[in-house]
Amino acid sequence: MQVRVLGCGTIAGRTGRNCSGYLIDEQILLDCGPGIWSALYSAEQPLKQINHILLSHFHVDHISDLIPFLWERWVFEDERESLLSIYGPVGLNSWFEKMIIPHHDWIKDLAISLHELGNKKTEVGLYTVETRSTGHTTNSICLKLSDPRDKSLFYSGDSGWNENLIELAAKCDLAIIDSANSSENKTEDHLTPELAARIASSAGAKRLMLTHLYPEVWDTDPAEEAARHFNGEILLARDRLVVFF
């Protein structure tokens, strides 16, 4: 499995990083926040090759570049008939209908299939996807993707401490976990590097990637803090980082 970090930042743009977005095996887009559309171009990634998008929740820093992505498929007529499957939390259908109101004339020309993900396994192309609620919003989810070789990726989305993350991340090869807050500024809706490490350790994850850091966390040493609680390899997410496993 290959994971390309397209964006690991937050809406607090002082870090100069794109917001949330990850490309899995050049086929599946995981979240699509501000900067992700242009990041795909920088990576020379053909958008027509991406026919599956997974959304963790509907906050702007995770979904705003979905419209540019759809617009490009519409502009290039040969892509309009290529089915794009969009997966997300319960409420996806209602959210999408509201989102397209200013754009509906052209979006309705596209072949789009919407899939609301509950607490069950779903087949996404050659991959199996499982989800659990995170509590960050009323319908936010974390996800686990498993490929045909039984390699697995866990993505927390945005979350505070939640046992669902430990359950779903169990024995995963790579856990990408929200580490937005510093230990001095904990909140209930985001994790810290320490809490991310404790989740990865409890889940028995092989590797941990800290992501979605606010500027105050970049001013500390988040990897060192996480290493006190997790013995596996720790990666600090950065835009354009590519990880193989």
> pLDDT per residue over 186-196, tens digit each?
898 999 999 99
Task: Round to whole Å and give the CA distance between 144 and 150.
Answer: 12
In this predicted structure, the answer to whether residue 6 has a pLDDT above a threshold of 90 is yes
Mean pLDDT of 16-27: 96
The pLDDT assigned to 23 comes to 98
What are the residue ranges spanned by the domains of the chain?
A: 2-244
pLDDT at 195: 98
The 10s digit of each residue's pLDDT in 148-162 is 999 999 999 999 999
Average pLDDT on 90-97 reads 97
Q: H-helix or E-strand containing 36?
A: helix 36-42
pLDDT of res. 104: 78
Average pLDDT score over residue span 197-218: 97
Q: Is the pLDDT of residue 56 over 80?
A: yes
At residue 81, φ and ψ (nearest 5 deg) are -90, -5
Half-sphere exposure for 75 (CA within 13 Å, toward CB): 7
Element (H, E) at 200: helix 193-203
* Mean per-residue pLDDT of the chain: 95
Mean pLDDT along residues 32-43: 96
Whether residue 13 is predicted with pLDDT greater than 70 in this model: the reply is no
Given CATH 3.60.15.10, say whether it is the number of domain 2-244.
Answer: yes
Range with the lowest mean pLDDT among 45-59, 97-111, 191-205? 97-111
Model confidence band, residue 16 (pLDDT cutoffs 50, 70, 90): confident
pLDDT confidence of residue 68: 95
Name the band, by pLDDT with cuts 50, 70 and 90, for residue 67: very high
Q: How much of the chain exceeds pLDDT 70, in percent?
A: 99
**Rounded to whole angstroms, what are the CA distances from 181 to 46, 55, 168, 178, 215?**
34, 22, 22, 9, 9
Instruction: Average the pLDDT over 92-118 and give the result.
Output: 93
At residue 172 the predicted structure's pLDDT band, cuts being 50, 70 and 90, is very high
Distance CA 107, CA 111 (A): 9
Average pLDDT over residues 38-59: 95
User: Per-residue confidence at 227, pLDDT binned at 50, 70, 90?
Assistant: very high
Instruction: Label residue 137 by pLDDT band (50, 70, 90).
Output: very high
